[in-house]
Amino acid sequence: MALEAIYGDDLVEFESKGGLRYFQIYIHYDLHDGAEVCAKLSSASANRKDGGCPNDCTEEHDDEPDEFSYTCNFEHLPPLILTCLLPKSYPSKDPPYFNVTVKWMDGHNVSQLCEMLDTIWAELPGQEVVYQWVEWIRSSSLSHLMFDGKITLGSDCPTHKGDNRAISRSLSLESVIPSMLNYSSKKHYEAFLENLHTCRIC
C-alpha cells in the first residue's frame, strides 16, 4: 500500500503467486537536460538500405573503417521496469526475487544494475528495500554506469550471458533507436498537453 501511494500508476500489481505479492514498478529517469545517446554500429550489422540514421540523429564515422555511430538527443528515455516477487521471509531474512528489464540497454549494463541491487540489500539486511532500489535506479543508476555525459549503446552482438535477472536489448539498434525516439516524442507531446502555454497570436 505504501508503494502504491508513492508510485501510483507506475506500479502494477499482478495476481499473487502462491500467496506471494507480485508487482512491477515502471521507473522513469529524471533528465533535466535531456540525454545524448550514441549507438555504435558496424557495417556488417547496419541495415543501411533504409536511408542511414534516423532523422533526429547525426551520423559519425569512427576510426575503424567498418564502424560508424548515430548520436541522438532525447528528452525522455523509456522506463526501466523492476519486477518483484516478495517471499514470505521478506524483509526479515530474504530480499525480493527480482528482474530488471531495460529493452534499450546493453546486457552487461543491466547486469551491473542487478549486482548493485544485491549490494543495497546487503547493506540493509532485514529492512524494506524496494523503495531504496527504485530511488537508487531513478537517481544514481546512470552515473553508476558512467552514463553522465553520454549513453553509449554497443554494436549488435549475441545475447549477453550475464545475470539471468537482467532482461536487456534483444533487437537490433536499427529497431531500438527509432522506438526510443518515438517514445521520447510521445512523452514530449504529453508534457505539452499538460502545461499552460502563452498564445503567440493573441
**CATH classification at residue 6:** 3.10.110.10
**Residue 50 located in a structural domain:** no
> Does the pLDDT value for residue 55 go beyond 60?
no
What would the pLDDT profile of 63-119 be if each residue is shown by its tens digit?
A: 555 567 778 889 999 999 999 999 999 999 999 999 999 999 999 999 999 999 999
Greatest pairwise CA separation for the chain in angstroms: 63
The cell for 92 is 526479515
Residue-level pLDDT at 174:
84
Are 6 and 131 in contact by the 8 Å Cβ rule? The answer is yes
Whole-number pLDDT of residue 112: 96
Of 51-55, 103-107, 181-185, give the lowest mean pLDDT range: 51-55
Classify residue 46: in a domain, yes or no. no
pLDDT over threshold 90, residue 160: no
Q: What ranges in 124-158 are assigned the alpha helix state H? A: 130-144
Answer whether residue 55 is part of any domain: no
Cell (9 digits) for 114:
542487478
Question: CB burial class (10 A; 0-12, 13-18, 19+) of residue 112?
Answer: buried
Q: Is residue 103 part of a domain?
A: yes
With pLDDT > 70 as the criterion, what percentage of the chain qualifies? 83
Tell me how far apart the alpha carbons of residues 55 and 44 are, in angstroms, rounded to a whole number: 22
Question: 3-state DSSP call for residue 111?
Answer: helix
Band (pLDDT 50/70/90 cuts) for residue 32 is confident
Positive or negative, the Cα torsion across 27, 31, 34, 37? negative
| pLDDT of 41 strictly over 80 | no
Mean predicted lDDT score pLDDT of the chain: 85
Classify residue 80 as exposed, middle or buried by CB count within 10 Å of its CB (0-12, 13-18, 19+): buried
Tell me which residue has cell 536487456.
Answer: 168
Q: What is the pLDDT of residue 136?
A: 97
- Pull the grid cell for residue 161: 550471458
Q: Is the dihedral of CA 30, 95, 84, 164 positive or negative?
A: positive
Does the pLDDT of residue 163 top 50, yes or no? yes
Cell 527504485 locates to 134
pLDDT given for residue 202 in this prediction: 79
In terms of residue numbers, what domain contains 37? 2-41+67-194
Alpha-helical segments (H) within 43-84: none
Evaluate whether residue 49 is within a structural domain. no
- Alpha carbon 6 to chain centroid, angstroms: 20
Q: Does residue 199 lie in a domain region?
A: no
50 pLDDT exceeds 70?
no
Evaluate whether residue 79 is within a structural domain. yes
Domain tally for the chain?
1
Asked if residue 145 is part of any domain, the answer here is: yes
With residues binned 3-state (H G I as helix, E B as strand, rest as coil), the percentages for the chain, rounded to 5, are 35, 25, 45
Residue 185: band (very low, low, confident or very high) from pLDDT cuts 50, 70, 90: very high
